[in-house]
Amino acid sequence: MATFVDRVELQVAAGSGGHGAASIRREKFKPLAGPDGANGGRGGDVILEVDASTTTLLSYHHKPHQKATSGGFGKGDLRHGAYGEDLVLSVPDGTVVMASDGTVLIDMVGIGTRFTAARGGTGGLGNAALASTQRKAPGFALLGEPGEERTLVLELKTVADVALVGFPSAGKSSLIAAMSAARPKIADYPFTTLVPNLGVVEAGDFRYTVADVPGLIPGASQGKGLGLDFLRHIERCHVLVHVLDAAALESDRDPFTDLETIENELATYAAGLDEEAETRVPLMDRPSVIVLNKTDLPDGTEMADMVRERLAERDVPVLDVSALSHKGLRELSFVLGELVEQARAQLPEPTVAPIVITPRAVDAKGFRVVKEEFEGSTAFRVEGDKPERWVRQTDFTNDEAVGYLADRLAKIGAEDELFKAGAVSGSTVLIGPGNDAVVFDWEPTMVGGAELLMGRRGTDKRLEDNHRATREEKREDQRARTDARMKRIAAMDAERRAGHWADPSKDEGNA
């Protein structure tokens, strides 16, 4: 079973916002006391955070789907929905976050670095928040927005000061085990090391990390062996250590040839790297040290003597060491410590990126109308953050909510833009991108005084009548009703005396 994973595809989904509530407060002597529907809670975010205790992406290899909790629904009596909890995912230091198309979103270096991978949806407003002087009794609420969903690629690039590179079985794992407290698997066959190993070395006042990169072979930069999978782990190092096997059993190998082969693979890989910031020295220009390992063996000592002068022509330190007997390890640790300190001193001071605020233009509409073909006919698509967000918040089963959406679109000038684009009554209008757009037949808003007869949308005249009659007004109303009743009785008596009323039985008898 895999114990180390340095590249995964992670699907993250933030929490959705809770729906707002449509409710009316009811009191003993005031059955319609006004709206009291509360807002829905906001959905939780999905956040990536660099954690020192996390060294692999294995957990996301087994669980590639991660979702934050959604916000709670709003309730009556102004009880707001609970906020969804953020989902914090721990990642190793040196993790590169990319979009599904390969675009680098962030390079997460440094303990505590955070990145919001997916933002939670906003909670919907309740009818209490939608009430105004013109809309005193909204009979609807807004829906919560769905949380953001994204597919990310996480790629781990080990953050180490020193990288040990070399052929399989050159003794890199033994070397890092002898210099630090790391305990990698060590065996006498090629490709024993299948994962990068990290170790911390302390030499006097020097303290630095060493990475044991799995063995490279010719063609590693093109994907042969394990090279392509793990070459990325040397990109961030300050110093390269070429570990050469001075006692190789193969007759066609020698330390100098091995060095040339590894340098060629590194140069090929470095040529394909994207240009990083000026804070990073090109890979092939970084300080390097040549280590002749296994010189405790007779064959190793003899081979080291043969190639030492030729290797010294490269003007880099050449050291004879033995991971088994610890020969030359102390000298090597101090040489690496000095080179690491020099490289760190050349790094510029970290600066905080300035905050750039770009105000929106005064005349910016925030949307646009595009004419396109839809199901064989001409349609008009409205694109923009506001219209698309409003559509997601609208409950299309509520006519009043749909009317509120129409009012909002008309307010930002969507109807004017549709007229300019050539839309007429009955034209097909789409709001939103792609196949998720809302499709409807457009009917322009008619302004003909209907609101004066029926009242504004979302109003209730019962809530507007706050006058309480006085005792004198009640007496005057009673006198008016009594006078009207006496007049009706007098009129009926006058009609009877005038003979307008006849007895039906007498009429039948006369007949």
Q: Is 324 annotated as a binding residue?
A: yes
Q: Is residue 168 marked as binding? A: yes
The answer to the question of whether 414 is labelled as a binding residue is no
Tokens of 115: 């990145």
The count of other CB atoms within 10 Å of the CB of residue 403 is 14
Q: Is 192 annotated as a binding residue?
A: yes
User: Is there a binding annotation on residue 193?
Assistant: yes
Instruction: Assign 490 to helix, strand or coil.
Output: helix
Query: Is 323 annotated as a binding-site member?
Result: yes
Bridge partner list, 65: 11
Binding site annotation covers 69? no
Helix (H) or strand (E) holding 98: strand 95-99
Contact 51, 111 (CB under 8 A): yes
- Check whether 59 is labelled as a binding-site residue: no
Q: Is position 14 annotated in a ligand binding site?
A: no
173 is in an annotated binding site: yes
Annotated ligand binding at 166? The verdict is yes
DSSP for 191-237?
T---S-EEEEEEETTEEEEEEEPPPP-TTGGGT-TTHHHHGGGGTT-
Structure tokens at 388: 């698309």
Say if residue 195 carries a ligand binding annotation.
yes
Q: Is 256 annotated as a binding residue?
A: no
Residue 172 annotated as binding site: yes
335 is in an annotated binding site: no
Sequence letter at residue 193: T
Q: Is 245 annotated as ligand-binding?
A: no
Question: Is 367 assigned to a binding site?
Answer: no
295 is in an annotated binding site: yes
Report the alpha-carbon distance of residue 52 to residue 117 in Å, rounded: 19
- Helices 329-346 and 172-179: crossing angle, nearest 10°? 90
Residue 261's SS3 state is helix
293 is in an annotated binding site: yes
**294 annotated ligand binder:** yes
Residue bearing tokens 């230091």: 93
Residues making up the binding site for Mg(2+)? 173, 193
Annotated binding site for GTP: 166-173, 191-195, 212-215, 293-296, 322-324
- Residues in the annotated binding site: 166-173, 191-195, 212-215, 293-296, 322-324
